[in-house]
Amino acid sequence: MKEIILGLIQGLTEFLPVSSSGHLTVFSKFLEVDQNLAYFAMLHLATFFAVFIYLFKDIVKILKGIFTLDKNYLSLALKIIISTIPAVIAGFLLNDFFEQVFSSVKYVGIFLAVTGLLMLFSDRLNKNRKDIFTLSYTEALFIGLIQAVAILPGISRSGSTLFAALLFGMKKEDAVKYSFLMSLPVTFGAGILEMQKGVFNSWHYIGMAAAFLSGLFGLYLLRKTVINGKTKYFAFYCFAISAVTLIFL
């Protein structure tokens, strides 16, 4: 049963700007279950499939654009690759460090407060100057560096990359879409690599299904809240969870 609860938490918080890894660490402590990084990776893989389905039409357009040598889509694909590289490098080189941080609930509390600050400022970023195609390669690299930092539990991947995209003047809907697209290679790769280290039972697979379904809902909810300029509510939530974590856990 605890596996299902963790699956629901992962699905909802993976895309909402509140840090899924931070929530998994906190709730694992609260539910008194061991940190199972292989299962966490399995849940991340479930949310990969949720994003894949949610953005299926966009993914098909990108693939068609690549095969037809469309300059806009070729450029977009290259930017996504550039945004992915920093997280891949950080994951390989700093794996032991990240595992150590995952074991510290106090670090999670601190990083959740950082995520809250990012979300508080995100509502004020409303330049709407660029779409997903006019983002520069340098900006794509910077957003990728932010995604690498977001491997730390408590730093929201979706929240931090959204903040960076909005900071560069992207339209809100395009910022959401780019954040989701650049998550696909990292989420898939990390999920496959870490899952090989674990042994799973039927409860784990039910939890994976729960993560997939709640992930679809989380995607829809994030898109609505960002476009309507309501990310400050996530900021207040992060501050509250951060305080509870630092005081009671």
DSSP annotation of 101 reads: H
CA distance 84 to 66: 18
CA distance 60 to 72: 14
Residues of the chain below pLDDT 50 = none
Distances (CA, A) of 225 to 6, 215, 228, 230: 23, 15, 5, 5
Q: 200 and 43 in contact (C-beta within 8 Å)?
A: no
pLDDT per residue over 181-230, tens digit each?
998 887 787 677 666 676 788 888 898 999 999 999 988 888 888 877 78
Which pLDDT does position 72 carry in this prediction?
94
Which pLDDT does position 69 carry in this prediction?
92
Residues 6+ apart with CB under 8 A from 83: 140, 141, 143, 144, 147, 178, 182
Question: What is the Rg, in whole angstroms, of the alpha carbon atoms belonging to the chain?
Answer: 17
130 phi and psi angles, rounded to 5 deg: -125, 150
DSSP annotation of 238 reads: H
CA distance 185 to 24: 21
Which pLDDT does position 146 carry in this prediction?
93
Q: Residue with structure tokens 């679809």?
A: 216
Which pLDDT does position 226 carry in this prediction?
81
CA 108 to chain centroid: 15
DSSP annotation of 94 reads: S
3-state secondary structure of 33: coil
CA distance 151 to 99: 10
Which pLDDT does position 101 carry in this prediction?
57
Q: 215 and 46 in contact (C-beta within 8 Å)?
A: yes
